[in-house]
Amino acid sequence: MDLRSKVLIIGGTGYLGKRLVKASLEQGHETYVLRRPEIGVDIEKIQMLLGFKKQGAKLVIGSFNDHRSLVEAVKQVDVVICAVSGVHIRSHQILIQLKLVDAIKEAGNIKRFLPSEFGTDPARMADAMEPGRVTFDDKMVVRKAIQEAGIPFTYVSANCFAGYMVGGLCQPGHILPSRESVILFGDGNKKSIFVNEDDIATYTIKTIDDPRTLNKTVYIRPPANILSQREIVELWEKLIGKELEKSSLSKQEFLNIMKDQGYAEQVGLTHYYHVFYDGCLTNFEIGDDAEEACALYPDIEYTKVEDYFKQYL
Ligand code: NDP
């Protein structure tokens, strides 16, 4: 008998969502993907969904505007993973998950729910700055609803997506590495953590049937990828055989630049501030009430930053 849970992925066409679908199929789970009627004639999304179907996923129709449809979708599976958008420069729909929590509560059959988190642990960001704290506050509202409804959960704290941060040498507004120059946050020495998005999806799917991760936060901290911005730059310099010209931005200079930006940009910049000036991803030890993914699943070969960089050569 196959004991692997049936999984429903919501937000499956997204940047992370599509990777979760792939990882779920690869790890042999019966995989369902929500198809929202609202996507209409978005041909890219439709084709992606049809592609998932070709690879063995089942498409389930359901809408956040139709409670019954969500309940019916949820009833077909054991585990729900939500990856709805939560990046202001793209789209931010975190609170829409409250409707999903209602549906999961009513359905009553879900063994595990993984809400759309996958970043900085919001529980550690009670003192975060405006306006970026909205991301953490909204994710905490969803957590509260999950816990009040008594829904079994796992929260995945995935630290920095490599595509955004490694690619741009940690500089806001950049996703490809310069061969000329780089601006460092202060001395560039605060440690951060960088994770390939495909690896985030692999670890996430690993957690869903693991009793050790039930009702816990799982941090993804690949040991070789706990690096400062300066170390990231040095890895790139080694690869291209050239030193970049470096300048530095003090905290105050950064804050001055931030206040002249639009709302969505300010939200993103707040996150950069906490990661690269405060070191918010690494300034704590993981306690007994949480787990670390690379320690739980040592057989997974994660992507090291130096290898991730090779695609940009
Ligand atoms: P995307 O912006 O790619 O969006 C994901 C999906 O959300 C969409 O494809 C869509 O799925 C669904 N969606 C969008 N709008 C709506 C809506 N109005 N109603 C219902 N569903 C909607 O998300 P990301 O992959 O960028 O983000 C996923 C998570 O990862 C978020 O929690 C985010 O905060 C986090 N994140 C973390 C980062 C880090 O560095 N740690 C970086 C980026 C994101 P569909 O149409 O298929 O239903």
Q: pLDDT tens digits for 46-74?
A: 999 999 999 999 999 999 999 999 999 99
Closest residue by CA, ligand 1 atom 14: 85
- The string of pLDDT tens digits covering residues 124-140 is 999 999 999 999 999 99
Cβ burial, residue 114 (10 Å; 0-12/13-18/19+): buried
CA of 275 to the centre of ligand 1 (A): 21
- pLDDT value of position 1: 73
- Split at pLDDT 50, 70, 90, the class of 158 is very high
- Which tokens in the block code for residue 258? 């931030």
pLDDT at 227 over 90: yes
Residue 69 CB coordination number (10 Å): 18
CA of 251 to the centre of ligand 1 (A): 29
DSSP-derived secondary structure letter, 216: E
Question: Could you say which of 18, 22, 105, 139 is catalytic?
Answer: 139
Is 139 catalytic? The answer is yes
Closest residue by CA, ligand 1 atom 7: 84
Closest residue by CA, ligand 1 atom 37: 119
Task: Choose among 66, 18, 67, 10: nearest CA to 35.
Answer: 10
pLDDT at 3 over 90: no
- The string of pLDDT tens digits covering residues 35-45 is 999 999 999 99
Closest residue by CA, ligand 1 atom 4: 85
- Split at pLDDT 50, 70, 90, the class of 2 is confident
> 226-228 and 191-195: which strand pairing?
antiparallel
Q: Ligand 1: list residues with CB < 6 Å.
A: 11-17, 34, 36, 39, 45, 64, 83-87, 90-91, 93, 96, 116-119, 158, 160-161, 164
